[in-house]
Structure formats: C-alpha cells, structure tokens
Amino acid sequence: MNKIQTSSLVAGLLLATNLYSNENLSEITVTSGFIETTEKSATYATEIYTKEEIQNSNSKDVYDFLSSQTSINVAPSYGNTFSQKIDLRGYGIGDGYQNVVVSVNGRRLNNVDMVSQLLSAVPLDSIEKIEILKGTGSVQYGDGANAGAINIITNGKYENYIKASAGSNGTKNGTLSLGYANDKVILNGFLDYTKTNGTRVLSDGRKDKNYNRNKDFNIIYFPTDELELRAGKKYSKMNILYGGSLTKADYDQNPNKASSFTENYLQSYVTNVGTTYTFSPKYSIDANYFTEDRLSKYTYSSGYKSNTDYDTESFNTKLDIKGDRYKAVIGVDGYFSDRRQSSNTTTKDNKGVFFSTNYFVNQDVKLSFGARKEYVDYTYVPNSGTRLNKDLSLNAYDLGVNYQIDETHSVFANYNKSFQAPDIDRFFNYGGTFNGFIEPAKVQNFTVGYNNIQKSNKLKISLFRANLKNEIYYYKLGGTSRNTNIDKSHKYGVEFFDKYLINDNLFTSINYSYIIAKIDEENDGNGTYNGKDLPGVSKHNVTVNLGYTYNKYKAVASHTYRSSAYAANDFANSFSQKQEAYNSTDVSLGYNYKNIEFFAKVQNLFDESNGIWIKDDSIYPVNFERTYNFGTKIKF
C-alpha cells in the first residue's frame, strides 16, 4: 500500500463514520487477495463486510459478529468462549476451524496444534473490513485453506473516541482508540478491556467470570512517495473460567448450571514490521515479518495444571507486476512454530513459494491462475526417548474465470486444489503416546457463481462442490480411538446473499447456505461410517436483517437460524441425541447526537435455549439466555 492508497483509505474511514444513512451498495474492492479485485470481477466467491456494517451490528466481539451476521458457523470450544471454533462450507464444528485460514493484516492466526484461532485478541472496534474468500486461498495461504480464508483488516488511521458499555451478568467494556495522520505518518493506539461476572453457576455459587485485555500500537511512515514502513506491537491477556458439559436433563432444566470449571489463562505478545516499495507503476515489492510469544495455562477441575509455551515466527513477501492486460504476483512465505510442554518440544515449519496472475482477455473476460509449492517439516523432541522427523511436499492450484455480462451482472467459475497438513496434536494418542504421522488432507474445490451489484441491491449466488481425500478427524468406535483419515468424502451446497435498500430509511438482507457433507469411504471403521453425514454440519444456515433509520435514530433486527445436525462426535449417525436447531433474535438501537453515539442491544430476545452437542448427554450451552448491552461512544 503506497501513500496515495493509504490516503484514500483514511478518507474512506472518515466517510464510513456516518452510521445513520443507507448508502448506495457500491461494489467493494477485495484487498486481502494476492491481486486486488472488485466483488463483481472476482473469479471466486466472496462475502465482505465493511466497518459500517460491523459497527451497526453492535456485536460484542468478532465471534458474535461472525455467528450472527455471516455464513460462518461459530461455537465455543468445549465451553471456552475466548477460543471458539469456526466452520465454513461444511467441514463441521469439530474440525472446521482447521480447514479455513484466518489472518489479520496478513498475519496467520492458525495454530500449530488443535487450539483454534484466537480471535478474542482482535477487538471488533479496531476492524476496518472482514473479507471471506470461499473455496479459494490455497495458493496465497497454503496449509489449511480448504474451505477458504477469512481476512480481517485493521490498516489505516484509527478513529479518536472513548467507548464504554455495560450489560447482563456484570459485563463491562471500556475502549480507547487514538489515531493521527498527516502526509508522512499514521500513528495508532488502541486499548480495550472487557470483564464479565459469568453466566454459569456452581452449586456453591461461584460463576464463570472472565476478563480480556488488549493493547495495540502501530506506526506507518512514508519517507518518500514510493516507500512505506510499518511497525507494530500487540499485547493480549485474558483469563476465563468455563463450565463442563451437561446432560440433556440438566440442560433442559437449567442451562446456567455447572458441575465444574476449567480455568484458562492466555497471554500473547505480537510484533510486526513491514515495508512496501514501489519501483515504478509496473513493479512493487511488499514484505512483512511477525513474531508471537504466547503462553497458555490450564487448571482443570481435578486440580491438574498444564502450561504450554508457543514461539512463532512468520514472514511473507511478494513482488507485484502490472502490465497493460495482466497483473502478476511472485512470492515466498514461511510459518515456523515451536510448542514447548513439560515432556517435549514439537515443531512444525511451513515454507512456500507461489505465483498468481490475472489476465484480461478483454474488458469483459478475466482469467486467473495460481500455483503453490509448500514444504512442511515436523520435529518431535521428547525429554527422553527417540527424536522423530517427518517431511511433506504439497501443491496447490487455482484457476478461475469471470465474465462481466454488463455493468451490474457477472458470472464466474473457479477450480481450486488445496491441502491441510496435520497439526502436531494429530500425531499423538489420548494420554500422550505417539500415534504416527497421518496423511495430509487434499481437496478439489469447484465453484460457479453469479453477481448482481446495483445501487440499491447486492445479490450473490454460488454453487460449490468439494471432493476430499484423507479428511482428518478423530476416530472413535467402541473402545478404539485415534487420529486418522477419512479416505474419501465430499461436500456440496448453494450460497445465497442479498441486501436490498428498500428506500432511504429501510433495508433488508438475507444470508443463506444449504450444505451437504458426506463420508464416502472410511476404512478404519470397516465401512461403519460409509455414506453417513459428517457430524456437526447444519444443512440450513440463515441470517436475516431488517434495518430502519430515521433522522439520527437507527434500529436493526436480526435472526440467526441453523438447522439440527448430528452431534459433533457422531460419525456413525447413531447417537440417540442430535444437535438441536440454533435460534437467536437480536435487536439493536442507536442514536447519534453530534459526536456522541448511544447504543443498546438485546441478544436472544426470545430467550431460546441453545447448545452444542458433542455426544449423548454431553451438551455445552451457548447463547442460552436473553442478554442486553448498552453504552455510549464519544468521538473527539
């Protein structure tokens, strides 16, 4: 991003602060892909949310926004609301998070083990845009981009404001955002603190209280018009008590109940530096380097404690080339992570080289092609015993075409080959014994779609199919359990998004997906799972919104529905209990007076009971009661 692009972004941020008007639905530029493109001209399926849409939702955090406003399925990891699991395109709420790459300003958040991406360290107010790329991203991001990629962008000048809110269960939040910009420099500072007294209660009256603190400081400096320098530091600290699962009888009687708590303490320090240099209108280079030092501590109800240290380094660099009828990118990247536990140190290193190009046949037809070669190295070093090593060499490809029918209509088709190298936990059995180096998953994705983007209406439709080989999962049948592969499986579905500005004051939107995920062949179970549905995948997922603005007032009502599914561990589709349908109706109100904004939100208005079924009589309540939140934001 050069100085001109950054200045445009700052101007866009200032325009987006008018939250109480229905603007035209102009197409948005996808900036997190290798090569910038618009929604209408993209050769793959996109789902994009602007700062205005994020702020208008009055969501409490990133997980809440993704769950209530997008096509993504989100659920706490065994009750841990700070570390939630993500599912896109039917990979299941159990392991779906390992099949989508999540990044923040280009920094990969996927972990070396089975810990899900830590989005609690990304304050929602700091986000400028969220871009969801579906069925693509393997050339750019490599390992794990089977379903696609979720890119969170916070670049640009922060707004200057103080925000405070309070709500149910003793929830309190305070945010300070500071930003300064001139022709040479952009300075940003962000402080965010949230605490909650808890929602679930032990028999002795103790509740699952928690807190979350985030600090973020960064600078962007322009020594010349051609050169941009970036540096930043981020600190996160959080602690949470979370309850275990409930039986069906206890869940029906009182989902607030808990028999025990697990305590999780997390601490993360992230440092980033980067630069962009524009040699000429045709050539530019971009390079970024990130480090993270993270500590995770668990105290279980039994009294057992475990400490895990993570050291992660990553980099990405690319050369951009622009011609009269083409754009191309060549680059290399790497992700190196060590996990240190009391008994061993385990390492997973990824190194990749890639190439991607867009070629404009004419003003209506665009072709895209990309390829990636990635090397993965595993090292297991126990305190005593044999050192183990494993190397993998994996490929990814992406081929797409977009045809613009006219100024508002376009169609596209995309083929993507992706892979998932196993995380380091997959090589171990329950209890810590070595399981073996299982096979990487490989996926072929096919997507076709249609876009219709007008001033008052934005419509997107896509159909997809994914053929999988060696899908990774945790096998459990009878007394046997281990990490292994599903030999063959497939997924297919349709995705529908429409946002319509009925008039200057009223808008409505719907986001719907229909997904089927099937197991074709699974040899470990001697055919027991063949032809079964992948558990934890809802066939029907829908979010609808209705918004109304009048003068300085704004109201938004939304409803999220996910149909019933097999419990997360029910690969044989034989459990007596299924995952019940999820329902939540939310209503938010806002009033803007000069530089002061007042807001309020009621979540789960009709007090629906929601939970995540792992197996029979193993239910983790989630968004299971009506809650409220209100506050104010003062800009200066």
> Looking at residue 50, what is its pLDDT?
92
Residue 168 and residue 174: Cα distance in Å, rounded? Answer: 15
Residue 257 and residue 280: Cα distance in Å, rounded? Answer: 64
Residue 603 and residue 586: Cα distance in Å, rounded? Answer: 4
Residue 265 and residue 271: Cα distance in Å, rounded? Answer: 20
Question: In the predicted model, what is the mean pLDDT of residues 29-35?
Answer: 78
Question: In the predicted model, what is the mean pLDDT of residues 329-335?
Answer: 97
**The CATH homologous superfamily of the domain defined by 3-635:** TonB-dependent receptor, beta-barrel domain (2.40.170.20)
Tell which phi-psi region holds residue 598, choosing left (phi > 0), alpha (psi between -120 and 50) or beta: beta
Residue 478 above 80 pLDDT? no
b or e along 45-83 (b: 16 or more beta carbons within 10 Å of the residue's beta carbon)? bbbbbbbbbbbbbbbbbbbbbbbbbbbbbbbbbbbbbbb
Residue 344 above 60 pLDDT? yes
> Looking at residue 26, what is its pLDDT?
72
> Looking at residue 23, what is its pLDDT?
55
In this structure, are residues 398 and 415 in contact, taking their beta carbons and an 8 Å threshold? yes
Using alpha carbons only, what angle is made at residue 92 by residues 413 and 436, rounded to the nearest 5 degrees? 105
In this structure, are residues 200 and 208 in contact, taking their beta carbons and an 8 Å threshold? yes
Question: In the predicted model, what is the mean pLDDT of residues 444-463?
Answer: 96
- The DSSP symbol for 534 reads P
Task: Of 356, 359, 399, give the one whose Cα is nearest residue 34.
Answer: 356
Q: Where are the domains of the chain?
A: 3-635
Q: Give the residues across from 321 on adjacent strands.
A: 283, 328
Task: Of 61, 83, 52, give the one whose Cα is nearest residue 192.
Answer: 61
Task: Of 355, 419, 507, give the one whose Cα is nearest residue 23.
Answer: 507
b or e along 426-460 (b: 16 or more beta carbons within 10 Å of the residue's beta carbon)? bbbeeeeeeeebbebbbbbbebebebbbbeeebbb
pLDDT digits (tens, 9 = 90+) for 543-599: 999 999 999 999 999 999 999 999 999 999 999 999 999 999 999 999 999 999 999
pLDDT digits (tens, 9 = 90+) for 605-627: 999 999 999 999 999 999 999 99
Residue 425 above 80 pLDDT? yes
Question: In the predicted model, what is the mean pLDDT of residues 241-263?
Answer: 94
Residue 162 above 80 pLDDT? yes
Residue 487 and residue 520: Cα distance in Å, rounded? Answer: 8
In this structure, are residues 178 and 206 in contact, taking their beta carbons and an 8 Å threshold? no
Residue 277 and residue 279: Cα distance in Å, rounded? Answer: 6
Burial class, 412, CB count within 10 angstroms (exposed 0-12 / middle 13-18 / buried 19+): buried
Tell which phi-psi region holds residue 192, choosing left (phi > 0), alpha (psi between -120 and 50) or beta: beta
φ, ψ (nearest 5 deg) of residue 7: -60, -40
Look at strands 73-77 and 565-566 and give their pairing. unpaired
DSSP reduced 3-state for 64: helix
Question: In the predicted model, what is the mean pLDDT of residues 506-533?
Answer: 93
DSSP reduced 3-state for 502: coil
> Looking at residue 10, what is its pLDDT?
36
> Looking at residue 419, what is its pLDDT?
98
Residue 2 above 70 pLDDT? no
Q: How many Cα atoms sit within 13 Å of 512 on the Cβ side?
A: 11
Question: In the predicted model, what is the mean pLDDT of residues 265-273?
Answer: 97
Rg (CA), the chain: 24
Residue 22 above 70 pLDDT? no
Residue 212 and residue 465: Cα distance in Å, rounded? Answer: 39
pLDDT digits (tens, 9 = 90+) for 360-392: 999 999 999 999 999 999 999 988 888 889 999
* Mean per-residue pLDDT over the chain, rounded: 92
Residue 556 and residue 586: Cα distance in Å, rounded? Answer: 8
DSSP reduced 3-state for 419: strand
In this structure, are residues 246 and 257 in contact, taking their beta carbons and an 8 Å threshold? yes
> Looking at residue 24, what is its pLDDT?
66
> Looking at residue 11, what is its pLDDT?
36
pLDDT tier for residue 1 given thresholds of 50, 70 and 90: very low
Residues of the chain with pLDDT > 90: what percent? Answer: 83
